[in-house]
């Protein structure tokens, strides 16, 4: 079983004590690459540090997460743009994670919209894919993406948990795909029905969102890239194909979206 974890916060302090062991378990489980999203300026640096430590295995994505959009967002964006364009920085494979999140708070609603649109423009300028986080804001996000759809190289709607109609709306962006992780295995999840009904297998990439979203039977524990096999098993059941086929297609899709081979 060989797969790519397209969204893992491996730079988080949750992994400070045993990061080497976590990476070793991922390799043994068949995880061939791990993509790390940043959430703010500070984590851009920790993401780059961790990726430099595992060259050819861990890949950085840089951006300002919607929940980190606060009063200082313009300064944060300036600093992140500086990192993205700096010659001595490891080449990031995507802008992320970026998006809109009105789940906890709408305090910085306008700022979130502006910060997201600014980073969408970077994706166009640099022709880098977007790693998109969106909660309780799909219509607002789609409205912004539509303005740039023709010029955007593609991206991932990370941690998709919506219904068939929402899946179809997102997949109208034909160079974009859905990121699917532990939620697929949760008892109350509708994804095992929603996905086969509305999403073809070549529009899905695998992700952990570790340390969050651990799949059943690890639910509630710290998540890690090795646990993706539980997601693969459930996805294979849902689509009625082999686990190898899930791995083959999601890996090919991740390589296509992120321009790796
Ligand atoms: Zn994340």
**∠ CA(103), CA(107), CA(110), 5° rounding?**
100
Q: Determine the Cα–Cα distance for residues 172 and 97; give it in Å rounded to an integer.
A: 21
Region at 213 (left for phi over 0; alpha for psi -120 to 50; beta for the rest): left
Q: Determine the Cα–Cα distance for residues 86 and 88; give it in Å rounded to an integer.
A: 6
Distant-in-sequence, close-in-space partners of 230: CB < 8 Å, separation ≥ 6: 182, 185, 215, 216, 217, 218
Expressed in angstroms and rounded, the spacing between residue 139 Cα and the centre of ligand 1 is 20
> What average pLDDT does this structure show over 12-29?
98
Q: Determine the Cα–Cα distance for residues 210 and 228; give it in Å rounded to an integer.
A: 10
Residues having C-beta closer than 5 Å to ion ligand 1: 209
pLDDT tens digits along 203-213: 999 999 999 99
Distant-in-sequence, close-in-space partners of 234: CB < 8 Å, separation ≥ 6: 184, 185, 192, 215
Expressed in angstroms and rounded, the spacing between residue 7 Cα and the centre of ligand 1 is 6
> What average pLDDT does this structure show over 235-250?
98
CA distances for 33 relative to 24, 146, 178, 250, angstroms: 12, 30, 18, 12
> What is the reported pLDDT for 228?
98
User: Quick one: pLDDT band at residue 35, thresholds 50, 70, 90?
Assistant: very high
CA distances for 16 relative to 50, 95, 229, angstroms: 10, 24, 23
- Model confidence at 154: pLDDT above 80: yes
Expressed in angstroms and rounded, the spacing between residue 225 Cα and the centre of ligand 1 is 13
Which residue, among 230, 208, 224, has the nearest Cα to 24 in the 3D structure? Answer: 224
- Is pTM beyond 0.85? Reply is yes
pLDDT tens digits along 120-132: 999 999 999 999 9
> What is the reported pLDDT for 261?
79
Expressed in angstroms and rounded, the spacing between residue 9 Cα and the centre of ligand 1 is 6
CA distances for 68 relative to 15, 25, 99, 112, 132, angstroms: 21, 31, 11, 9, 14
Q: What is the dihedral of CA 162, 165, 166, 169, to 10 degrees?
A: 160
pLDDT tens digits along 215-237: 999 999 999 999 999 999 999 99
pLDDT tens digits along 65-110: 999 999 999 999 999 999 998 866 678 999 999 999 999 889 999 9
> What is the reported pLDDT for 236?
98
> What average pLDDT does this structure show over 42-59?
96
8 A C-beta contact, residue 11 and residue 43: yes
> What is the reported pLDDT for 90?
78
> What is the reported pLDDT for 5?
98
Expressed in angstroms and rounded, the spacing between residue 71 Cα and the centre of ligand 1 is 21
Computed over every residue of the chain, the mean pLDDT equals 97
């Amino acid at each position: 079983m060989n797969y790519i974890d397209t969204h893992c916060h491996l730079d988080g302090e949750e992994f400070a004590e045993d990061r080497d062991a976590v990476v070793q378990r991922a390799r043994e489980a068949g995880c061939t690459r791990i993509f790390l999203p940043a959430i703010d300026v500070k984590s851009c640096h920790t993401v780059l540090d961790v990726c430099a430590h595992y060259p050819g295995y861990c890949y950085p994505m840089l951006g300002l997460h919607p929940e980190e959009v606060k009063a200082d967002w313009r300064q944060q964006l300036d600093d992140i743009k500086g990192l993205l364009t700096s010659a001595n920085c490891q080449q990031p494979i995507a802008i992320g994670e970026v998006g809109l999140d009105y789940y906890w708070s709408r305090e910085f609603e306008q700022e979130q919209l502006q910060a997201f649109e600014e980073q969408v423009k970077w994706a166009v300028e640099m022709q880098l894919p977007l790693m998109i986080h969106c909660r309780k804001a799909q219509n607002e996000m789609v409205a912004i993406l539509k303005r740039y759809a023709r010029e955007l190289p593609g991206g991932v709607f990370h941690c998709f948990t919506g219904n068939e109609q929402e899946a179809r709306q997102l997949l109208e962006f034909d160079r974009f795909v859905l990121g699917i992780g532990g939620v697929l295995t949760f008892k109350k999840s509708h994804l095992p029905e929603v996905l086969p009904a509305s999403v073809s297998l070549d529009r899905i990439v695998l992700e952990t969102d570790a340390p969050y979203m651990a799949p059943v039977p690890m639910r509630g524990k710290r998540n890690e890239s090795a646990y993706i096999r539980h997601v693969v098993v459930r996805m294979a059941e849902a689509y009625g194909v082999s686990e190898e086929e899930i791995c083959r297609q999601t890996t090919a899709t991740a390589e296509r979206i992120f321009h790796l081979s």
